[in-house]
Amino acid sequence: METSAPLDIVIVGGGTAGWMVGTALVSGLRPHQARVRLVESDEIATVGVGEATIPAMRDYNRFVGIDEVEMMRETNGTFKLGIEFLDWGFKGSSYHHPFGVHGAGIGGAGFHHHWNRARLAGHDLDIEQFSYAIAAARADRFEFPNPDPDKIDSTYSYAYHFDASLYARYLRKVAEGRGLKRTEGKVVDVTRDPLSGDVASITLASGEVVKGDFFVDCTGFRGLLIGQTLDSPFEEWTDWLPCDRAWAVPCARADRFTPFTRSTAREAGWQWRIPLQHRTGNGYVYSSRYISDDEAAATLMANLDGEALAEPRQVRFKAGRRTASWTRNVMAAGLASGFLEPLESTSIYLIQVAVMNLLKLFPGKRVEPALVEEFNRRVDMEYDRVRDFLILHYHANTRTDGELWKHCREMEIPESLKHKLELFRHRGVAPNYHDGLFALPSWISVLLGQGVLPGGYDRLVDNVPLAQALAEMERQRSAITRRMPAMPTHADFVARHCAISERAVAEAVA
Ligand SMILES: Cc1cc2nc3c(=O)[nH]c(=O)nc-3n(C[C@H](O)[C@H](O)[C@H](O)COP(=O)(O)OP(=O)(O)OC[C@H]3O[C@@H](n4cnc5c(N)ncnc54)[C@H](O)[C@@H]3O)c2cc1C
């Protein structure tokens, strides 16, 4: 029998994870269901990076009832139509992973199958010309997608770039306004119930003891509760994803105000470029096996498109995940639950997955093992799929510089990814999940972008004569080209829709 007393939930950690979890819990639960408290320490800094998102973030915002314009203003946010990958397949190559489709299906078969038949028949068509999101990204243009699904400018989605610290601060305001109780203090001790083994309370440096029924570990890489206290094992994926460090540095905003993240492959990793309203975020994610820290920092600083606004800051990490990110009465979210490098901006999404599943499988005072099992199954599935998608970027390369690329090309990959590659190479079949990441258009863009070309195509394609398909493809391409000049530039759209004040810009870069 469930008791009717509210559950006392204690979140430890006030980075992006702590505040996203806190905000969702106080938004989704009524006071008679749960009392939510968050403990964070001013002494222990947050990781402070994590500035690019994916469209799923908009579902989170809708769920908690965040006003987009307000959020964008308060976080110096910009819009994101996808990611541009430079030099990934080979040096000199480039492609976009757009938040949208490459063309509409024809006669029951997916667009990329028609494109592939045309390619195999000798037609040299750039598949990226059939993506509205890519056309807009290349032209530095942005507006909201048309809600009418019959219109060409409805065929994409969007996400955000924002200042990670400002985002946590913004969520704090929202969550506290909805009843979340925040306590500043460093956790110095954790007590477990001697009978059940569950976490019973945490003790702060001030001596205050905070008891709870359920704890959420958002303490970052430390994993204070899930790892240090409950010993939930960490499964390492460093052989497949060898990058283990990053240098991050902001620079002055460049003239080109792109509505996309850029990822440029480098000798021992890759560099990100994330445009915000007041500055550009940059970082070099690299493997310490293949380059020294000093060389990596020098590479980053030599490749900024504006004046550096600070000294570069290093972050160290390890790819992998907790095998049970919900253990006993502790659920971990964010870096405490695992880490997959930011190549596809998935960490914030994985926080969202954790808290939304916690709400769906919300426990009573006594935690039901079946709920825990189901939660961990769902979270594991998401991690595994994102992992395979990331590995694909590294594995499918023909780069001749740098040992990292040779290692990744020749390494044994997970069976699950091997299977996906075989299906795509054989007949252009790519994963098409109804739930979770990544959807079919994402797989297609990265597979083709990395140079994985299918030898065959969906047989349904043959029901449409090639000439007819080519004419339809041309119709779609020219509809995109015609519409593009009417789209506002990203800079104009941001200025009109969610610009921060000049004073805020000056304060932010000071
Ligand atoms: C290089 C890099 C780039 C990234 N880029 C992206 C990106 O573009 N997109 C994306 O989605 N994600 C990205 N991420 C991931 C993203 O930064 C994290 O997922 C996100 O910031 C969540 O961090 P966190 O809240 O789990 O941990 P943290 O930010 O480390 O916060 C930990 C919190 O726990 C508190 N704490 C710790 N110990 C104690 C204690 N003993 N007592 C009290 N409080 C304590 C700290 O004070 C802090 O508040 C990136 C990560 C890295 C490393």
Instruction: Evaluate whether residue 83 is within a structural domain.
Output: no
**488: DSSP letter:** P
* 91 has catalytic annotation: no
Whether residues 212 and 337 fall in one domain:
yes
Q: Would the CB of 186 count as within 6 Å of ligand 1?
A: yes
Q: Do both 309 and 167 map to the same domain?
A: no
Note whether residue 223 is domain-resident. Answer: yes
Our count of domains for the chain comes to 2
Pairing mode, if any, of strands 199-204 and 209-211?
A: antiparallel
Residues 337, 287 share a domain: no
Work out which ligand 1 atom sits closest to the CA atom of 248: 1
Q: Is the CB of 222 under 6 A from ligand 1?
A: yes
Residue 396 pLDDT more than 70?
A: yes
Answer yes or no: is 446 within a domain.
Answer: no
Mean per-residue pLDDT, 21-27: 98
Structure tokens at 358: 């916690």
Q: What average pLDDT does range 84-90 have in this prediction?
A: 97
d(CA 36, CA 21): 10
Measured distance CA(150)–CA(129) in Å, rounded: 19
271 — pLDDT class (breaks 50, 70, 90): very high
**Residue 510 pLDDT greater than 80, yes or no:** no
Across residues 471-477, what is the average pLDDT?
A: 98
From atom 2 of ligand 1, which residue's Cα is the shortest distance away?
49
Residues 188 and 328 in one domain: yes
For residues 332-339, give the mean pLDDT.
Answer: 98
Domain extent at residue 173: 7-78+162-236+319-384
Average pLDDT over residues 367-386: 97
* Average pLDDT in the chain: 96
Domain's final residue, options 259, 285, 316 = 316
Say if residue 284 is in the same domain as residue 333.
no
- The answer to whether position 274 is within a domain reads yes
Question: Are 345 and 229 in the same domain?
Answer: yes
Asked if the model's pLDDT at residue 500 lies above 90, the reply is no
In-domain check, residue 256: yes
Ligand 1 nearest atom to the CA of residue 43, by list position: 47
Give the tens place of pLDDT for each residue, 229-264.
Answer: 999 999 999 999 999 999 999 999 988 999 999 999
Residue 317 binned pLDDT confidence (cut-offs 50, 70, 90): very high
Q: What is the pLDDT of residue 206?
A: 97
Residue 1: band (very low, low, confident or very high) from pLDDT cuts 50, 70, 90: very low
pLDDT at 509 over 80: no
226 lines ligand 1 (CB under 6 A): no
Residue 246 Cβ < 6 Å to ligand 1: yes
**Contact residues for 252 (Cβ-Cβ < 8 A; gap 6+):** 279, 280, 306, 307, 309, 509
Buried b / exposed e over 232-267, threshold 16 CB at 10 Å, is bebeebeebbbbbbbbbbbbebeeebbbbbbbbbbb
pLDDT of res. 433: 87
CATH number of the domain within which 176 lies: 3.50.50.60
Nearest CA to ligand 1 atom 17: 50
Protein residue with least CA distance to atom 7, ligand 1: 50
205 and 224 inside one domain: yes
Residue 262 parent element (H or E):
strand 261-266
Between the CA of 24 and the centroid of ligand 1 the distance, in Å, is 17
- β-partners of residue 394 are none
Q: Which residues are annotated as a binding site for FAD?
A: 14-17, 187, 335, 348
Residue 60 sits in the same domain as residue 168: yes
pLDDT, tens only, 166-209: 999 999 999 999 999 999 999 999 999 999 999 999 999 999 99
In a domain, 189, yes or no: yes
271 and 281 Cβ atoms separated by less than 8 Å:
no
Question: Which residues, 6+ apart, have CB-to-CB distance to 308 below 8 Å?
Answer: 249, 250, 251, 301
Residue ranges for the known binding site are 14-17, 80, 187, 335, 344, 348
Ligand 1 neighbourhood includes 354 CB (under 6 angstroms): no
Q: Look at 405 and 437; give whichever has higher pLDDT.
A: 405
Indicate if 249 and 366 belong to the same structural domain: no
13 Cβ closer than 6 Å to some ligand 1 atom: yes
- pLDDT at 2 (0 to 100): 52
Residue type, 269: G
Percent of the chain with pLDDT over 70: 98
Residue 183 lies in a domain: yes
- Residues 97 and 133: their CA atoms lie apart, in Å, by 9
Inside any domain, residue 417? no
Same domain, 230 and 337: yes
Q: Determine how many CB atoms are found less than 10 A away from the CB of residue 484.
A: 15
Mean pLDDT, rounded, for 205-230: 98
Per-residue pLDDT of 25-61, as tens digits, reads 999 999 999 999 999 999 999 998 889 999 999 999 9
Report CA(70)–ligand 1 centroid distance (Å): 23
Q: Which pLDDT does position 3 carry in this prediction? A: 53
Assign 502 a pLDDT band (cuts: 50, 70, 90): confident
CATH number at residue 265: 3.30.9.100
pLDDT, average across residues 342-370: 97
Residue of minimum CA distance from atom 27 in ligand 1: 220
Same domain, 325 and 223: yes
For residue 44 and ligand 1, the question of a CB distance below 6 A is answered with yes
Residues 125-181: tens digit of each pLDDT: 999 999 999 999 999 999 999 999 999 999 999 999 999 999 999 999 999 999 999
Nearest CA owner, ligand 1 atom 20: 16
Domain boundary among 316, 349, 372: 316
